[in-house]
Amino acid sequence: MSTLDRLERTIAERRTAPPESSYVAKLNAKGVPKIAQKVGEEATETVIAALSGSQDDLVGESADLLFHLLVLLNAKDVRLSAVLAELDRREGVSGIAEKASRNKAS
């Protein structure tokens, strides 16, 4: 089992815990908008770390971003395996071609 799989399991277990006992539960109690806001904040901090921070800063912010993204996916009942399957589907496809196919489908 990968680190992300274990983290996904832990997030699922803590989602319904009392908010005072778990950061995951506290975020979920505030709802999807708050969780999505946290993902945005962590994404911004990751970008800042990439542009002006150290490698350690980038690693730490990337970990925060992945964590909060997994919390958001869990709150929306989306499994990490679904995201990984989508990445698998895109593997070997030019990013330009893949994006063009999404624009045609819209």
Highest CATH level, class, for 3-78: mainly alpha
pLDDT for 70 equals 98
- For the chain, the domains span 3-78
Q: What does the pLDDT look like over 96-105, one tens digit per residue? A: 776 777 776 6
Express each pLDDT in 27-39 by its tens digit. 999 999 999 999 9
62 pLDDT band, cuts 50/70/90, is very high
56-82: average pLDDT: 98
Instruction: Give CB contacts under 8 A, 24+ apart, made by 53-62.
Output: none
Q: Are 21 and 13 in contact (CB under 8 A)?
A: no
Backbone angles phi, psi at 78, to 5 degrees: -105, 125
Average pLDDT, the chain: 93
